[in-house]
Amino acid sequence: MIIVKSPDDIEKMSKACKLSAQVLQYAGEQLNAGMSTYELDKLIYDYIIAHGAKPSFLNYGGFKGSACISLNDEVIHGIPSKKKIIRSGDIVSIDVGAFIDGYHGDNAYTYAVGQVSPSAEKLLRVTKECLSLGIAAARPGNRIGDIGNAVQTHAEQNGFSVVREFIGHGIGKDLHEDPEVPNYGAKGRGPRLMPGMTIAIEPMINEGTCSVKVLPDGWTVKTKDGLLSAHFENTIAITQDGPVILTTV
Ligand code: MG
C-alpha cells in the first residue's frame, strides 16, 4: 500500500532527509585513502548521533553498520570492516539514512578517491545523470515505469547496464515502503505517481554485465564480472509542481 503524505508529513520528513544529506556530504569530506570502511562508518555513526538522530540502517535486518560502504565492483550493501582499506583510485559508494522525528531519509553517492580511470569517471557521471533523469520523470500523472525507463535508457545509451535485483522504494515512517521503484521499465507502466508520494530513486549502474552476486556474508552485492558499479540515490517528494529533492544539504 502506498502511503501518501500530507505537506505537514513531508515537512517533518525533510528534517531526516536533510540530515541524511549532510552526513553523506560529511562522509565524502572525511573519505581518504588509507582509511578503513569501519573508520568511515564510525564517523558517520557519531555524526548522526550527535545530531539527535539514529542511523536508519544500523541493525536493519541485522546489518552491522550505520552506512553501506561499497568499493569498486561492490554494487551495494558493503559491510563496514576494519579489514577493508580504501585506496587511491577506488570508487566508494556510501549509502546512508537518518531517522528522526518519526521519519527516515535515504541517500547515496559514489565518490572517486584520488585519480580514477576515465571509464570510472564516465560511470560516475552517467549514473549521476541517470538519477537526475529518473527524478525529472517523477511527476504527477507519470507512472513508476517512466522513472525506470528514463534511468535505463540513459545508462544503456552510454554502454552501461542496469542492476535488476535491487531497486528504489517508497520511504517515510518505514525505510522501505511501497511502491517499488525499479531502475528499468516501460514508459506508462506501473503505479501512477501522485502528489504526496515520497520515494527513494537509486540507480545502480554497472560498467559491464548487469549480473550480480551476493557474497557469503549475506549482504555484499558484487558485479559478476568484477567490473565497476556506481550508485546514487535521493529521497524525493512528488508534488503538484513536480519532484522535490528532500535529501539536500
Ligand atoms: Mg534506498
CA–CA distances in Å: residue 226 to residues 1, 54, 183, 221, 229: 37, 34, 21, 11, 9
CA 107 to ligand 1 center in whole angstroms:
6
Report how far ligand 1's centroid is from the alpha carbon of 63 (Å): 14
Transcribe 193-238 into DSSP letters. P-TT-EEEE--EEESS-S-EEE-TTSS-EEETT---EEE-BEEEEE
Q: What's the 36 CA to ligand 1 centre distance in angstroms? A: 23
The reported pLDDT for the residue numbered 124 is 98
The pLDDT of residue 127 is 98
Q: So what's the pLDDT on residue 245?
A: 98
| Residue-level pLDDT at 126 | 98
Quote the ligand 1 centre to 153 CA distance (angstroms): 21
Give the per-residue pLDDT at 136: 98
Ligand 1 geometric centre to CA of 171 (Å): 8
Average model confidence (pLDDT) for the chain? 98
Instruction: Please state whether the predicted TM-score (pTM) of the whole model is above 0.95.
Output: yes
What's the CA-to-centroid distance between 233 and ligand 1, angstroms?
A: 7
pLDDT band at 6 (very low <50, low <70, confident <90, very high): very high
C-alpha cell at 31: 573519505
Q: Could you tell me the three cell numbers for 48?
A: 548522526
- Dig out the grid coordinates for 193 from the structure: 505517481
The confidence score (pLDDT) of residue 210 equals 98
The string of pLDDT tens digits covering residues 48-79 is 999 999 999 999 999 999 999 999 999 999 99
What digits encode the pLDDT tens for the residues 182-197? 999 999 999 999 999 9
Q: ∠68-72-76 over CA atoms, to 5°?
A: 30
Give me the phi and psi of 29, to 5 degrees please.
Answer: -70, -35
Rounded mean pLDDT, 224-233:
98
Tell me, rounded to whole angstroms, the distance of Cα 130 from its chain centroid. 12
179 preceded by cis ω (within 30°)? yes
Instruction: Report the pLDDT averaged over residues 207-216.
Output: 98
Q: Which segments of the chain does DSSP mark as H helices, in order?
A: 7-30, 37-50, 118-136, 144-157
Tell me the average pLDDT across 132-143.
98
Task: Give residue 234's pLDDT.
Answer: 98
Confidence of residue 134 (pLDDT cuts 50, 70, 90): very high
Query: Which pLDDT does position 174 carry in this prediction?
Result: 98
